Chain A
Amino acid sequence: MKAARIFVVLMFMFMMMTACNAAPAAAEPNSPGSVTEVSGSDSATTSPDAAAGTPEICSTDAHGCAVFKPGDVVKIGMGAPMTGGDASYGFDISQGGTIAVQDSGEFEGFKFVLVVEDDGGTAEGGAAVANKFASDPALVAVAGHIYSGATSAAIPIYEKAGIVMLSPSASLPTLTTLGSAVFNRIVFTDARQGPPAAEYLFNKLNVRKLAVLHDGSDYGKGLAETVAAKFTELGGEVVITEAITKGETDYTPVLSAVAAKNPESVYFGGYTAEGAVIVNQMKQTGLENAIFFGDDGTYGADFLSRTGANGEGAFATIAPIPADSPEKAAFDAAYLEQFGKEAGTLSPYTWNGYDSVSALIAAVKSVAVVGNDGNLYVPRGALISAVRNLTDFHGISGTYTCDAVGECNTLPPTFVMVKDGAWVPAP
């Protein structure tokens, strides 16, 4: 009886999985030097004709070529949380990416498309999505993932498959220190903005007693730690370090405890949602006179609308951007037109999403070749080094030059502050 049931169950599973498997079954691409064919139908084996038109580079490339027949689309992947509590990040960044694809146009008649898969921001989801992307021969690059946990689990899988990554927002420091060849990021990391922020607080604002808050995420915590370390080194006193619980709306208890230490300034490592609540509640808890100092995660139009008058005099560090470039204005208009919302109301990383996808497409265009047979060949190994060697790429939220380990946003930050309801460069 039991055996019969187990048997039935296994058969059922087998059938379901093979059924679902039908499309990507022919996958397992990219053994070194091989050529994998892309096509909507099932004829995924390499035909002799295709081999005849193969450019030289594909046989020498470390990860082989992705091949596209005329009419196929070149896929850029993005693993992002589209469900669960952090879905706004996934939605926003992928929407930014969508506009980048539209702006990038075609390459020799081949269209690009952004494939967004939900990884829930977790390692389990990240690895699942990475495996799915790795078995899609038409996918050449990944703009992601969004969260560091998902990215950590995904990197080894892309490494094996030879798929290049350019994350718009994964800020965990160790992601670039572990020696991955495929991982790069354009997010503005802790190491870049933390120490300058501490110096600014100490030297320019003459703060001697600093309270450091963070939201308990890897991003906010890392930032808070670097700021606290540098500030102490400069001779200031960090009077209290507290973490808040992300996603809540009442931080008055924490802020009351902070207020009891009489700090001159509050540094907050985290995002707009919590940062705005903190700024608002600082006025209720005896921190009326302390300066709020945020990061690039708290910067943005949304911060202004949430804090109103309470936000006056708040500081933030941001990546150096051309103040309001026409490209950025065009993007904001396009975003509003397509999605019915102001850019930046869902997350602070819309523009990073745009930049990361457009930088990837530019890199693909720079290495792709059209063979004699009219097929498009994208050498994956060359693409990996093209992204790593990205130099002076002008995006809408910064100018990117990748260094040897894949940090692409390496310029020192600019300081901004809220004055009369707008972000202006700080003195």
Chain B
Amino acid sequence: MKKTYFQPIQIGFIFGAVNVFLVLIGFNAMVASLLAKALGEQVLTALPPFPYLAAFTILLGLWCGIAAARKSSRARIAGNVLAGWLSGLAAGSVTFVFCVGIGWLLSNKIDIRNYLTVLSFDFINGVLMGLPPLVGALANLGILAAAGAVGGLLYGFIQSSKVKQINQPILALTCSTTEKLKRLDHGRRRLAFQILGVAIAGAVVIFLPLNWGSYWNYVAGTVGLYVILGLGLNLIVGLSGQLVLGYIAFFAIGAYTMALLNSPLPYNLMWGFWPALVLGVIFAALAGLLLGLPLMRLRGDYLAIVTLGFGEIIRILLKSDVLTDFSGGPRGIQNISGPTLFGRPFNSDIDFMYLIAISVALAAFVYNRLQHSRPGRAWLSIREDETAARACGVNTTRYKLLALALGAAFAGLAGAIYASRNQFTGPEEHSLMASINVLSLIIVGGLGNIPGTILGAFALKGLPEILREFSNYRLLTFGALLVVMMLSRPEGLIPSKRPKYKTPQEADGRNAEEKNVS
């Protein structure tokens, strides 16, 4: 009995606090502007019209009601409405108190923008929807309560049997389609499917860059470069299980190799893109080897912090006065020339897109082959249990070094292309946050597999670009999404399947089983 009232109210209070927080950072104005733009209205000022601000409150109230109704899991619609209404009321009361507070500020003309930066009088007026303080606060309360009830009703309606009946065939269809798709993976049709997949992917990669403009080419190219980085880090973290946090240092080495060999300042060497690319890869791999040599005794987080230190050392050195003559110091290196192909310049956004696509394909191919080769199995054994692996005769030091060097080579490749594409590289490009981004992307996508890495790169590098509509709130949203993604899919968006190595007997048994099933 207690639970029936208590839980929705608790949820309501949380939503109320969230609402106050979002208002205090001006998030409501941003969402309202987006809504106004979506409905075709031109918003030239920072503050959109009142109805849209109210719409934000309504949306939040709806969500609150739905959440409360779902938590209370009542069978009847009336129960759901009650839960939604209660939660809306609770959220509304929190908001009410807040609105009275800012209303008081407004009526006494107290300007506290020096501390809470969004609370201009216009903004407060907007939150109160242009009404007198107390009325405005009451209006907010009413809107939230009503929206909460509607949210509860909505949830109850969706849950009710009628909608379920409509849903049934759709669900059945989806289920059967997934089943069919799953079955397609096996047997003879698998090849056909693979060919089809590759053909479509190829067509997309070939035709899309021509048509979607330089901006999306740039974004897709960045995503591609981060796929390469992600694959390289996956060799180290995903396959061999070594946590490396300063990975971007190898990227920096690739980028600076390209920059120093191909820019007018400071050396004017102009070796051309392709030799520099190869050298960048080699130098990065060598750096990985050198870093690895003294450190391979370390495990887990000790390795993580040491590599973090290595990354910072590289960045600070590149930036420092000591190496200014060598690396350009904080100024970085400008005017890096682009690649040429058969004597012609090959440096438009479209060309780079193709170059990156080919590199991604190459990296994915190498990664795939490595994964299933002898080193790949050795890495897996190290990841699962280093001591056991060693006991079984795997030279763990050697394979860990190999993983680090190869992973670094991937980063060198990405770095070289990156510097050439931007025509600039500087020390701040290679900060700790960049390393963390790469680590995040492979974990968000799903550790140790190629599709996961691609999806992760898209999520980590594509998403912030898509979130540009959120203007200043994009990193806030991004951080929150990162947490939500981890909470909802701890194994990553596409979880890796552990490769199963079977003894012959097991394999026979499994085959027999499969035959029985089919």
Residue in A4, A116, A128, A152 whose CB lies within 8 Å of B334: A152
Could you tell me the distance in whole angstroms from the C-beta of B234 to the nearest C-beta in chain A? Answer: 15
Contact at B204–A10, with CB atoms within 8 Å? yes
20 contacts between A and B (CB under 8 A): A3-B197, A7-B193, A7-B197, A11-B200, A17-B208, A24-B215, A40-B42, A83-B474, A121-B428, A122-B428, A122-B429, A123-B429, A124-B422, A128-B215, A128-B218, A128-B465, A132-B215, A152-B332, A216-B321, A218-B332
Residues of A within 8 A of B (CB): 1-14, 16-18, 20-21, 24-25, 27-28, 40, 73, 82-84, 111, 113, 116-118, 121-124, 127-128, 131-132, 134-135, 148-149, 152-153, 156-157, 172, 174-175, 178, 216-218, 221-222, 241, 243, 338-341
Given contacts A25-B212, A340-B113, contact A6 B330 (CB under 8 A): no
Residue in B190, B213, B335, B465 whose CB lies within 8 Å of A28: B213
Q: Which has the most chain B C-beta neighbours within 10 Å: A3, A172, A222? A: A3
Bound-state CA distance A379–B216 (Å) is: 26
Could you tell me the distance in whole angstroms from the C-beta of B450 to the nearest C-beta in chain A? Answer: 7
B426 at the interface (CB under 8 A from A): yes
Contact at B185–A132, with CB atoms within 8 Å? no
Contact at B349–A131, with CB atoms within 8 Å? yes
Residue in B220, B330, B335 whose CB lies within 8 Å of A216: B330
Set of chain A residues within 8 Å of B223, measured between Cβ atoms: 13
B222 at the interface (CB under 8 A from A): yes
Contact at B320–A243, with CB atoms within 8 Å? yes
Bound-state CA distance A82–B476 (Å) is: 12
Smallest CB-CB separation from A1: which chain B residue? Answer: B185
Smallest CB-CB separation from B46: which chain A residue? Answer: A98
The 7 closest A-B pairs by CB, nearest first: A340-B113, A7-B197, A3-B194, A152-B424, A5-B451, A131-B215, A131-B218
Contact at B494–A5, with CB atoms within 8 Å? yes
Taken residue by residue from 33 to 54, chain B's Cβ proximity to chain A (1 for < 8 Å, 0 otherwise) reads as 0000000101010000000000
Bound-state CA distance A117–B40 (Å) is: 21
Residue in B113, B193, B429 whose CB lies within 8 Å of A124: B429
Q: Which of B414-437 contact A (CB under 8 A)?
A: 418, 421-426, 428-429, 433
Bound-state CA distance A10–B201 (Å) is: 7
Could you tell me the distance in whole angstroms from the C-beta of A112 to the nearest C-beta in chain B? Answer: 10
Could you tell me the distance in whole angstroms from the C-beta of A23 to the nearest C-beta in chain B? Answer: 10
Q: Which of B210-241 contact A (CB under 8 A)?
A: 212-220, 222-223
Contact at B472–A118, with CB atoms within 8 Å? yes
Could you tell me the distance in whole angstroms from the C-beta of B403 to the nearest C-beta in chain A? Answer: 21
B78 at the interface (CB under 8 A from A): no
Contact at B220–A17, with CB atoms within 8 Å? yes
Contact at A28–B494, with CB atoms within 8 Å? no
Contact at B214–A7, with CB atoms within 8 Å? no
Given contacts A4-B193, A24-B215, A117-B468, contact A111 B334 (CB under 8 A): no
Residues of B within 8 A of A (CB): 40, 42, 44, 111-114, 117, 120, 181, 184-185, 190, 193-194, 196-198, 200-201, 204, 208, 212-220, 222-223, 265, 319-321, 324, 329-332, 334-335, 349, 418, 421-426, 428-429, 433, 449-451, 454-455, 458, 462, 465-466, 468, 471-472, 474-475, 494
Bound-state CA distance A132–B458 (Å) is: 18
Contact at A82–B193, with CB atoms within 8 Å? no
Residue in B193, B208, B425 whose CB lies within 8 Å of A14: B208
Residue in B117, B193, B330, B428 whose CB lies within 8 Å of A3: B193
Residue in B185, B319, B335, B462 whose CB lies within 8 Å of A178: B335
Contact at B222–A128, with CB atoms within 8 Å? yes
Bound-state CA distance A418–B265 (Å) is: 40
Could you tell me the distance in whole angstroms from the C-beta of A240 to the nearest C-beta in chain B? Answer: 12
Bound-state CA distance A341–B112 (Å) is: 10
Smallest CB-CB separation from A338: which chain B residue? Answer: B120
Contact at A13–B458, with CB atoms within 8 Å? yes
Smallest CB-CB separation from A222: which chain B residue? Answer: B331
Contact at A9–B213, with CB atoms within 8 Å? no
Set of chain A residues within 8 Å of B40, measured between Cβ atoms: 40
Set of chain B residues within 8 Å of A10, measured between Cβ atoms: 197, 200-201, 204, 454
Residue in B219, B329, B423 whose CB lies within 8 Å of A152: B423
Residue in A1, A84, A217 whose CB lies within 8 Å of B330: A217
Set of chain B residues within 8 Å of A5, measured between Cβ atoms: 449, 451, 494
Set of chain B residues within 8 Å of A153, measured between Cβ atoms: 422-424
Bound-state CA distance A216–B494 (Å) is: 43
Could you tell me the distance in whole angstroms from the C-beta of B106 to the nearest C-beta in chain A? Answer: 14
Smallest CB-CB separation from B368: which chain A residue? Answer: A2
Bound-state CA distance A5–B335 (Å) is: 40
Bound-state CA distance A403–B503 (Å) is: 78
Contact at A149–B194, with CB atoms within 8 Å? no
Could you tell me the distance in whole angstroms from the C-beta of B329 to the nearest C-beta in chain A? Answer: 6
Could you tell me the distance in whole angstroms from the C-beta of A423 to the nearest C-beta in chain B? Answer: 22
Given contacts A7-B201, A123-B429, contact A13 B193 (CB under 8 A): no
Contact at A27–B475, with CB atoms within 8 Å? no
Bound-state CA distance A10–B450 (Å) is: 12
Set of chain B residues within 8 Å of A157, measured between Cβ atoms: 214
Contact at A6–B197, with CB atoms within 8 Å? yes
Residue in A2, A113, A156 whose CB lies within 8 Å of B450: A2
Contact at B462–A127, with CB atoms within 8 Å? no
Given contacts A149-B426, A152-B423, contact A17 B113 (CB under 8 A): no
Given contacts A6-B450, A28-B213, A127-B218, contact A132 B334 (CB under 8 A): no
Bound-state CA distance A116–B472 (Å) is: 9
Could you tell me the distance in whole angstroms from the C-beta of A47 to the nearest C-beta in chain B? Answer: 21
Smallest CB-CB separation from B431: which chain A residue? Answer: A122
Contact at B472–A178, with CB atoms within 8 Å? no
Set of chain B residues within 8 Å of A221, measured between Cβ atoms: 321, 324, 329-331
Smallest CB-CB separation from A132: which chain B residue? Answer: B215
Bound-state CA distance A290–B469 (Å) is: 50
Could you tell me the distance in whole angstroms from the C-beta of A310 to the nearest C-beta in chain B? Answer: 23
Contact at B197–A156, with CB atoms within 8 Å? no
Set of chain A residues within 8 Å of B458, measured between Cβ atoms: 9, 13, 16
Contact at B334–A174, with CB atoms within 8 Å? yes
Q: Which has the most chain B C-beta neighbours within 10 Å: A111, A121, A128, A217? A: A128
Set of chain B residues within 8 Å of A6, measured between Cβ atoms: 197, 201, 450-451, 454
Contact at B201–A149, with CB atoms within 8 Å? no
Bound-state CA distance A152–B423 (Å) is: 8
Contact at B424–A149, with CB atoms within 8 Å? yes
Smallest CB-CB separation from B195: which chain A residue? Answer: A3
Could you tell me the distance in whole angstroms from the C-beta of B349 to the nearest C-beta in chain A? Answer: 7
Set of chain B residues within 8 Å of A18, measured between Cβ atoms: 212
Contact at B44–A111, with CB atoms within 8 Å? yes
Contact at A4–B181, with CB atoms within 8 Å? yes
Could you tell me the distance in whole angstroms from the C-beta of B286 to the nearest C-beta in chain A? Answer: 25
Set of chain B residues within 8 Å of A222, measured between Cβ atoms: 331
Bound-state CA distance A25–B214 (Å) is: 10
Could you tell me the distance in whole angstroms from the C-beta of A238 to the nearest C-beta in chain B? Answer: 13
Smallest CB-CB separation from A29: which chain B residue? Answer: B213
Set of chain B residues within 8 Å of A20, measured between Cβ atoms: 216, 466
Set of chain A residues within 8 Å of B220, measured between Cβ atoms: 17
Contact at A27–B426, with CB atoms within 8 Å? no
Set of chain A residues within 8 Å of B197, measured between Cβ atoms: 3-4, 6-7, 10
Given contacts A40-B40, A73-B44, A152-B423, contact A134 B330 (CB under 8 A): no
Q: Which has the most chain A C-beta neighbours within 10 Å: B40, B218, B421? A: B218
